[in-house]
Structure 1
C-alpha cells in the first residue's frame, strides 16, 4: 500500500482546508442540548423527536424531486444550525425545513432541476404560502449569514476520503460505492445525535464501519493513515463507529421506514372539493356487468426567540395561487 504522502498534494491540501473550516458549520452545542432536553410532546419548543421527523420528511422530498444527497445534507446542516440559535415553535418547523431544502437546492442543483416554489409547497402539504417561505428565507439568511456559503459536511469528507483511499490502494481494493455511503450518511443525518459529531470524524467512522465489514486489512491501514493525518483520536473514532453501527443495524432492519416518494395524496381546489361534496349522492346507476370471459379487444437561553414576530407563518395550503401539482418532469413522464 502507498504512503499518504504519495497521495495527490491537492487532495491533501483540500482535506486540511476542509478540516480547518468544518467547525464554522457545526450547530451550537448549547442549542443541541436544549433540543435533546425538550419533551417529545412539547408544543412550545422543538424537541429532538420533532426535528428528526422533519428531517425524514425532507429526505422524502429530496427523493421525490430527484435532488442530490449534497442538497439534503446541506439543508439539514442549515436547519440544525438555525434551530440551535433560535427558539422555534413546532408549528413553524415545516416552513423552516422546506425553506432550508429550497435554499440548499438553489446552491447545489442546476437551474433546470429546481422545482418551482409552489410545487415544493404543494408536494410537502405544508400550511404556509410562497410569501411565508420568502420571509423565512430572509430570516434564515440573516441568522446564518448572507450569502450563505456551501457548508463543509460529512458528505464533503466522504468524497475526499474515497478519492484518498483509491489513491492509497491503487484501485486494487474493493471499496463501498459512493451511493451506499451516501444512503448511510442520510440515515445518520435523520438522527440529531450525529449533529454533534465533527463531519471529518463522522465520515471516517462510516467508511471504517463499512470497510471493517469487507475485512480488508489494506483498507483499514488506510483508515489509520487518514486518522493520524487528521489527528482524530482513537477514542473519538471508536465512539462514533459504535454510534454508526447501531444506526445501521436499525436502518437495515425491517423496523426502519425509508422515504417512499410514490406515496402521494391528491390535492384538489376548493371549487372541485365543493363540487365533489355536492355531487356525492348523485351516483349514476351502473349497467349489469355480464359474466363470462374477458374480451381482449377491450381496454431556550442561548437561543433567540422568533415565536412572536413570526406567528403568521401558517397560512392556508396553496393560498398564493394555483400552479401545477406535480413537477414538470413527472407530468411529462405520465404523458408518455
Structure 2
C-alpha cells in the first residue's frame, strides 16, 4: 500500500511539474545574449546561481532552499527583461522567499544581514519591494515541484522496493550533483522529473545494482518518459559532472567557507545602509516589443558586483568556483 501511494504521489507531481518550469523561450533568449550586453546573459545568470549556492552554505540553509531559489530565479528571468546590475536584488529576493518557505522561522537570516553578507547595494525596503514583484509575476507560487522533489520521491520508492538497503540511493551525493547541474542554465530546460531520473540513472550505472536498475526502469515506464529524452539529459548530466571533476577544475582547499575582503569592501559592508532607496520600478515582459532602453526592470542606478568576483573566483575560468567546492561534495563526484 505504501508503494502504491508513492507511485500515485509521483504521478501527481509529474502532472503538475509543468506549472513550475521556466519558459523555454525566455531561457533561450538569455542563452543567446552576448556577454556585455544590456540584458542578462547565461554566464551572468550562472555566476549569480553560484553566489546563491555560496550564501546557502554560509547561512546553513538546506538544499531544498537552494533548489527552490534557483527555480524562482529562472522562472522570473525567463519571464521578465532585467539588466545585469539589477540581478543581485532579484536573486537575493528569490533566496529570501525560498528560505521563508523551507526553513524554520528561527533559522531565517534577518533581511539586513542577508543584504550585508551578500555585499549588495540596496536597502531592506528595496528587497521587500522586489519580493512582491517576483511573487506577483509568479502568480504567488512560491512553492514549486523541483528536481529535488523527484529525487526524494525516487529515494522513498527505492527504499520500498530495494531488497538490499545498502544499495539504496545516497541522497547527499545526488543532492551535490544536482546543485552542480543547476549552476548551468541549460539544465533549467529539463523537466524536473527527467533531470532527477538522469541523476538516478547515472548513479545506478556507477553502483551496478540490479535492483536499482529495475527500479529506474519501473519509474521511467510509470511516467512514460521516452528513452531518447532520458538518454539526452543523462549524457548532459554526465558531461557536466565530468567537467566538475576534471583536473582543470581547481582542487578544494580543505577549509570551511571564509570571507576574505579588502579594506574597501569592508568599509562598504559597514556603510551599506547609507545606500539610497531604489527608484520606481517599471516592468515589462520578454514578449513585449519595447526599445532597448525601456526593456528592463529599472532599479538600481549603481552597478552590482558579483559575489563570486568579490571572493576571488575566476569569472573567465572553470565553471564551478573554488569557494563552492567543499570536500564533502567533491568526494562524491
* TM-score past 0.5 threshold: yes
2:144 to 142, 151, 156: 151
Aligned partner of 2:221 in structure 1 is 228
Decide whether the 8 Å contact of 1:201 with 1:232 is kept in 2: yes
SS of the aligned residue for 1:142 comes to helix
After superposition, residues 257-276 of structure 1 pair within 5 angstroms as: 261-265=257-261, 268-269=266-267
After superposition, residues 192-231 of structure 1 pair within 5 angstroms as: 192-231=185-224
CA distance 1:149–1:170, change in 2 (3 Å): farther
CA positional deviation for 1:62: 0.2
Larger relative contact order (Cα-Cα within 8 Å, sequence gap ≥ 6): 1
CA positional deviation for 1:310: 2.6
Task: Let me know the Cα RMSD of the aligned residues.
Answer: 2.6
TM-score normalised by structure 1 residue count: 0.78
Greater Rg over alpha carbons, structure = 1
SS of the aligned residue for 2:167 comes to coil
Residues 243-284 of structure 1: CA deviation (Å, up to 9, x unaligned) = 0100111122343467973234376457989xxxxxxxxxxx
CA positional deviation for 1:7: 5.5
Gapped runs of 5+ residues in structure 1? 1-5, 274-299, 318-336
Aligned structure 1 segments of 4 or more residues deviating by more than 6 angstroms: 270-273
Aligned partner of 2:172 in structure 1 is 179
Residues 208-252 of structure 1: CA deviation (Å, up to 9, x unaligned) = 101101111221111111100010010011011100100111122
After superposition, residues 14-93 of structure 1 pair within 5 angstroms as: 14-42=9-37, 44-93=38-87
Decide whether the 8 Å contact of 1:128 with 1:315 is kept in 2: no
Gapped runs of 5+ residues in structure 2? 272-284, 306-333
Decide whether the 8 Å contact of 1:175 with 1:211 is kept in 2: no
Matches of 1:248 and 1:26, distance apart in 2: 23
State how many pairs are aligned.
284
Residues 25-82 of structure 1: CA deviation (Å, up to 9, x unaligned) = 000011011011000221x100111100000000000000000000000000000000
CA distance 1:243–1:7, change in 2 (3 Å): farther
